[in-house]
Structure 1
Amino acid sequence: MCFTSSQSTSKMNGRSIRINRVPATIFAILLTIVLVYFLNFHQEERPAIYGKLRSDNPNRVNLRKMLIAAIQASQRGGLEVLDVARSRQLKERSKGQTDEGVNDPFTDADGRSHCVMKQGLQRIFPRVRIFSEEDKEHCKESHSYDLDPTVLHETAQVPDVSVNAQDVTVWVDPLDATKEFTEELYEYVTTMVCVAVAGRPVIGGYPQPL
């Protein structure tokens, strides 16, 4: 076997193998161009995706950013609920009775989910009013997370618009169906976030049931 070239020659089993450096050089140049283009393209693309999530005015709220945060808050809260369910250390107590006269239980899962969800949202949106069903619960540590745009479905049509933070209200239910949770009826259990702008609901975020 031989490659016709007089520029480089080596011997193997008594046969001469001549390697043509010109095609190799051309290939190396083309590969370099492709790599430079690829790296530059992605460096320009990433700020376009992540930049909008970092540079907002605290007095303004981007609704796309809010939806991402609502979904992530629900997911993070759900992980806390799931962890308590697996440990079976519910630390259940009663908050009293509902209007229907049914016991209204509270568990460690309610408290942990509340802290993760509300504190995580509050850190990202410090000027937004956020109410949780478990607002009386004291959080011992501060929770936060970074926004991940990939939680949105690729076909989701989300308006990239901003509104005044003072017009936004967020409601958090850190553990919906606590009674069912204590009875291990997990198919009814979830975590939820609702967002309203000027009194009109515009966003809802929740993960799959446990």
Structure 2
Amino acid sequence: MAPMGIRLSPLGVAVFCLLGVGVIYHLYAGVISSRLAAFRADSSQLKRTVDLRDLLAVSVEAAVLGGREVKTVRSENSLQEKSKGKTREGASEPLTMGDLQSHRKMYNLMKNTFPEVTVNSEEHDNMVDKSAAWSRDIPADILDKIEGGKDVPAESITVWIDPLDATQEYTENLVKYVTTMVCVAVDGKPIIGVIHLPFTGFTAWAFVGQGSNMHRRASYNVSPPKVIVSRSHSGKVKNFLLDAFGNSTTIIEAGGAGYKVLALLEMPSSETGSIDQADAYVHITFIKKWDICAGAALLNALGGHMTTLKGEDIDYSGTPVNKGGLVATVGVDHKALLERLPNWDPDKH
């Protein structure tokens, strides 16, 4: 008897083939799906990096755009001044249309260009301007001094914006003190600083470890130093400095933290008559990080220092308040100067 064979009908063969294809499809679909997910994760990770040279260029553009708003509002005398309240020292904190208009330009430009970066501004406003876009222009001096490809993770970046520094002086038309500022901190360290003078058009910038358009002055004096301080609450700091450096100490009262940092540096000849010259900048009460971060980056890029009164580095991430006061210098022995300061706790004054 011949062995019995198994015969499959054409329909059975078709069903069998379909089942096999289905199994293979599901196996490969799972592999493809997991690889696509990994690809998307990699792509997402790539999107979360930022070229710091681009961020410097946008920071300069933002400071200049904000400065135009500040200048326009002042020239049209349309300040619409109101009070935000009182400072810790009891001084009034004014708010003007110059502050708000500048904030809108600067904040929206930064957020639209780098949406995944944390941006903190002194002012708060719900007006969203989706049209604010970077021109893609990188100034020639930045192209000349800074190489591209300086990529860092977006989540490590904190941007601090001061849309109008020295608002009190702005309301009094003491416009030489007024600046707009942008600072980029990476892991809490100030890396990029931009300080723009709206009423002269000059912009100071620095990228720590890479370059700057600013320089130290040829000489500084610390025996005794010329110290620049805030004009809004200069009484206590004057006594503090006279105790530290003696009665022959020159104390310069000025508005705006940005202006005070520029007073430590060599300025262009067109600015020489308008900017005071100081050897140190001292502040003995609380101060906000958007006031000082850009100046810290400029000084650090030139080998200078901005620390608390106790010589501690300031962390430019997290909350906006620096509670330790500050001492800013360049071209002098910062540590030796700190050692001459009397004990002072800003939290108790």
TM-score, length-normalised on structure 2?
A: 0.42
Q: Deviations over 1:20-53 (max 9, x none)?
A: xxxxxxxxxxxxxxxxxxxxxxxxxxxxxxxxxx
Alignment of 1:175-186 (within 5 A): 175-186=164-175
Question: What percentage of residue pairs aligned between the two structures are identical?
Answer: 40
The residue that corresponds to 1:193 in the other structure is: 182
How far off its partner does 1:206 sit?
A: 2.2
Q: Deviations over 1:149-189 (max 9, x none)?
A: 12544642355310000111101000000000000000000
CA RMSD of aligned residues (A): 1.8
The residue that corresponds to 1:202 in the other structure is: 191
Residue 137 of structure 2: which of 148, 156, 161 is its match? 148
Residues 162 and 182 in structure 2, CA contact (< 8 A), matched pair in contact too: yes
The residue that corresponds to 1:170 in the other structure is: 159
The answer to whether residue 47 in structure 2 is matched with residue 58 in structure 1 is yes
Residue 94 of structure 1: which of 76, 83, 91 is its match? 83
Residues 76 and 113 in structure 1, CA contact (< 8 A), matched pair in contact too: yes
Letter in 2 for 1:162: D
Unpaired segments of 5 or more residues in structure 2? 1-45, 200-349
How far off its partner does 1:199 sit?
A: 1.1
Letter in 2 for 1:93: K
The residue that corresponds to 1:13 in the other structure is: none
Residues 180 and 186 in structure 1, CA contact (< 8 A), matched pair in contact too: yes
The residue that corresponds to 2:244 in the other structure is: none
Cα distance in 1 between the residues matched to 2:146 and 2:197: 20
How far off its partner does 1:113 sit?
A: 0.4
Residues 57 and 137 in structure 2, CA contact (< 8 A), matched pair in contact too: yes
Unpaired segments of 5 or more residues in structure 1? 1-56
- How many equivalent pairs are there? 154
The answer to whether residue 113 in structure 2 is matched with residue 124 in structure 1 is yes
Residues 64 and 198 in structure 2, CA contact (< 8 A), matched pair in contact too: no
Cα distance in 2 between the residues matched to 1:202 and 1:180: 28
The answer to whether residue 49 in structure 2 is matched with residue 73 in structure 1 is no
The residue that corresponds to 2:127 in the other structure is: 139
Alpha carbons of structure 1 residues 180 and 101: separation in structure 2 relative to 1, 3 Å: same
TM-score, length-normalised on structure 1?
A: 0.69
Alpha carbons of structure 1 residues 204 and 190: separation in structure 2 relative to 1, 3 Å: same
Residue 83 of structure 1: which of 61, 72, 81 is its match? 72
**Partner SS state of residue 192, structure 1:** strand
Cα distance in 2 between the residues matched to 1:145 and 1:69: 6
How far off its partner does 1:83 sit?
A: 0.7
Cα distance in 1 between the residues matched to 2:159 and 2:140: 19
* Greater RCO, CA 8 A, separation 6+: 1
- Which one is further off, 144-153 or 197-206? 144-153
**Partner SS state of residue 149, structure 1:** coil
Q: Deviations over 1:104-126 (max 9, x none)?
A: 00000100000100100111101
Residues 59 and 164 in structure 1, CA contact (< 8 A), matched pair in contact too: yes
Cα distance in 2 between the residues matched to 1:148 and 1:154: 10
Residues 68 and 151 in structure 1, CA contact (< 8 A), matched pair in contact too: no
The residue that corresponds to 1:108 in the other structure is: 97
**Partner SS state of residue 206, structure 1:** strand
Letter in 2 for 1:81: V
Cα distance in 2 between the residues matched to 1:131 and 1:115: 12
